[in-house]
Chains A and B, each alone.
Chain A
Amino acid sequence: MSSIADIEKEITEDFELFDDWEGKYEYLIGLGKDLPLIDEKFKTDEYIVRGCQSRVWLHASHDGNRVFYTADSDAIITKGLVALMIKVLNGQKAEDIAKAELGFIDKIGLKEHLSPTRSNGLVSMVKQMKLYALALIKTN
């Protein structure tokens, strides 16, 4: 499978096709709509990553080496961003996830969504994704 850096590069290239915010957001919304559904049983408080405005549910599993994520959000733009994160990190090695810098969000001009004031739960989600990876590294 492609490395985190390769996928980030791929996404950056996809976003370069758009020269205005509208195209970019329509693409993001489309990604949100296409995100495979999380199993309803994981849409509980136990799996919630709380933002002030939108909520994200995140579930992780592993095969002893790689981490697999499914997620959902009640807001579609947040869901699009969640889909991007999953695209990049899903099925990667725990060590790679833990050290991933995820600079592509900045490159594609969506950095504002990772600012703590956006309160969309995304910053906490990335943190949570990495925590799952770190937990797996520890148990190994």
Chain B
Amino acid sequence: MVNSTKEIISPSYTSIDWKKIREDFPILKREVNNQPLVYLDNAATSQKPQLVINAIAHYYSYYNANVHRGVHTLSQEGTNAFEASRNTIKEFINASKTEEVIFTKGTTNSINLLAYSWGRKFVKEGDEIMISAMEHHSNIVPWQILCEEKKALLKVIPINEKGELIWEEFLRLLSDKTKLISVVHISNALGTINPVKAIIEEAHRRNIWVHIDGAQAAPHLQIDVQELDCDFYSFSGHKMCGPTGTGIFYGKEKWLEEMPPFEGGGEMIKTVSFEKTTYNDLPFKFEAGTPHIEGAIVLAEAIRYLQSIGLSNISTRENELVHQTTTRLKEMDGIRFIGTAIHKSSVVSFLVNNIHPYDMGMILDKMGIAVRTGHHCTQPLMDFYRIPGTVRASFSFYNNENDIDRLMEGVKKSIQMLS
């Protein structure tokens, strides 16, 4: 369980039996409404391979104990595995130090940590925080709360009809009051891959901090935080074959050192007296209370699983599935794609004629097909397109051509029933 990720060498794309990979996921064998399940809601959460499920059972059957405190063997073993996982994640995102990897409950929790801790220390009245028009509510609301408290201003980078950031507008919005840019790496509703590296370069030229919401990127792209040079990066474990309730907050060590704690409690302290408490070193300063030990340990297992397939193989496969789906949907009358960016990831968001996404979602569900319908927690983005929501099929590498066939059947049937 504690082997280094660097030892894993990905296979070549053509040597992978993609149909067989599906067998790693026991849930995909079940039926929904008397039909074999077609799971196309991967952007909401991914399914878990058997080895991840086994690792959860193994943790509780073998070395469950609280970490970082006990002198007994179980606690030592648990602590070793927990910290080994931190190291696996450090290598996965190529952070320079394990101290820069903070375990959280998920991306939302990571962004709240940033907004609360960093925001409290560095944001002053009149400062500006910049987000984009395609953000998830998780990357809007924490900043609104902060801006309201600090009398700061929230600026929004507009997008074009394709669902791409308008670069000139972004440059125009930058000012000497801009403190932080927090943008999504890959949009959950549109699939747009944003030019985050260029944004970071532009921001750093003006000494502006940058946070990247990587919830949708970490499962699909190889992330290298040093190459990106982002100040902060957040992502969730459950979207990348890991357990729910796990997430990562990455921050450059120099900023994390300056940031005050987010939550107080056990684990995050060095000494406590009623007069004065001194805080623990990184990364523990930001990990108050008993962490999600099993989740953190098993997340490393999920990462090793992804690496055994190879992140670049995964993106190639998912792009292929998205391409096939888009091509086939295009043949249908009345189809409207929401999000047609040139750089796109594993999401196909669409509408057909004036069929309400909720209706189509209901019919697809009856046919055993799980898609997401609605506003995808991006209401301002739906307002931009003047739509109530979309039908979103989001892919993972374990989906295959049969899933696409079934989706096409489902969409055709829904059109027939609902038109």
Q: In this assembly, does A92 line the interface, its C-beta being within 8 Å of a C-beta of chain B?
A: no
Q: In this assembly, does A94 line the interface, its C-beta being within 8 Å of a C-beta of chain B?
A: no
Query: Contact at A78–B358, with CB atoms within 8 Å?
Result: yes
Complex interface residues of chain A between 48 and 80 (CB less than 8 A to chain B): 52-55, 74-78
Complex interface residues of chain A between 1 and 28 (CB less than 8 A to chain B): 21-22, 25-26
Instruction: Say how far B18's CB is from chain A's closest CB, in angstroms.
Output: 32
Q: In this assembly, does A136 line the interface, its C-beta being within 8 Å of a C-beta of chain B?
A: no
| Among all A-B residue pairs, the 4 with the closest Cβ atoms | A75-B356, A75-B358, A53-B358, A54-B358
Contact with A along B339-373 (1 / 0, CB 8 A): 00000000000000000111101110010000001
Inter-chain contacts of A84 with B (CB < 8 A)? none
A-B contact pairs, 18 of them (CB 8 A): A21-B366, A22-B366, A26-B417, A29-B417, A53-B357, A53-B358, A53-B361, A53-B388, A54-B358, A54-B388, A74-B356, A75-B359, A76-B356, A76-B359, A76-B418, A77-B362, A78-B358, A120-B358
Instruction: Say how far B360's CB is from chain A's closest CB, in angstroms.
Output: 9
Query: Contact at A53–B374, with CB atoms within 8 Å?
Result: yes
> How many residues on the A side are at the interface (Cβ–Cβ under 8 A)?
16
Inter-chain contacts of A26 with B (CB < 8 A)? 417
Instruction: Say how far B62's CB is from chain A's closest CB, in angstroms.
Output: 36
Query: Contact at B389–A53, with CB atoms within 8 Å?
Result: yes
Using a CB–CB cutoff of 8 Å, the interface residues on chain A facing chain B are 21-22, 25-26, 29, 52-55, 74-78, 119-120
Query: Contact at A22–B417, with CB atoms within 8 Å?
Result: yes
Instruction: Say how far A128's CB is from chain B's closest CB, in angstroms.
Output: 19
Q: In this assembly, does B327 line the interface, its C-beta being within 8 Å of a C-beta of chain A?
A: no
Inter-chain contacts of B361 with A (CB < 8 A)? 53
Distance between Cα atoms of A55 and B375 in the complex (Å): 13
Distance between Cα atoms of A55 and B417 in the complex (Å): 20
| Given A29-B418, A54-B358, 14 additional A-B pairs, CB 8 A | A22-B366, A25-B362, A25-B363, A25-B366, A25-B417, A29-B417, A52-B374, A53-B358, A53-B361, A54-B356, A74-B388, A75-B358, A75-B359, A77-B359
Residue with the highest number of chain A CB atoms closer than 10 Å, among B362, B375, B388, B389: B362
Q: In this assembly, does B33 line the interface, its C-beta being within 8 Å of a C-beta of chain A?
A: yes
Distance between Cα atoms of A26 and B359 in the complex (Å): 12
Distance between Cα atoms of A53 and B382 in the complex (Å): 12
Q: Which residue of A lies closest to B373 (CB)?
A: A53
Q: Which residue of B lies closest to A74 (CB)?
A: B356
Inter-chain contacts of B417 with A (CB < 8 A)? 22, 25-26, 29
Q: Which residue of B lies closest to A55 (CB)?
A: B388
- Given A29-B417, A55-B388, are A77 and B358 also a contact pair (CB < 8 Å)? yes
Instruction: Say how far A123's CB is from chain B's closest CB, in angstroms.
Output: 14
Instruction: Say how far B275's CB is from chain A's closest CB, in angstroms.
Output: 48
Residue with the highest number of chain B CB atoms closer than 10 Å, among A21, A25, A53: A53
Distance between Cα atoms of A74 and B373 in the complex (Å): 14
Q: Which residue of B lies closest to A76 (CB)?
A: B359
Instruction: Say how far A18's CB is from chain B's closest CB, in angstroms.
Output: 13
Distance between Cα atoms of A77 and B373 in the complex (Å): 14
Q: Which residue of B lies closest to A52 (CB)?
A: B374
Instruction: Say how far A33's CB is from chain B's closest CB, in angstroms.
Output: 10
Distance between Cα atoms of A78 and B418 in the complex (Å): 12
Q: Which residue of B lies closest to A113 (CB)?
A: B362
Distance between Cα atoms of A119 and B389 in the complex (Å): 13
Inter-chain contacts of B375 with A (CB < 8 A)? 52
Instruction: Say how far A31's CB is from chain B's closest CB, in angstroms.
Output: 13
Q: Which residue of A lies closest to B33 (CB)?
A: A21
Distance between Cα atoms of A99 and B418 in the complex (Å): 34
Instruction: Say how far A116's CB is from chain B's closest CB, in angstroms.
Output: 15
Instruction: Say how far B132's CB is from chain A's closest CB, in angstroms.
Output: 23
Residue with the highest number of chain B CB atoms closer than 10 Å, among A22, A54, A55, A119: A54
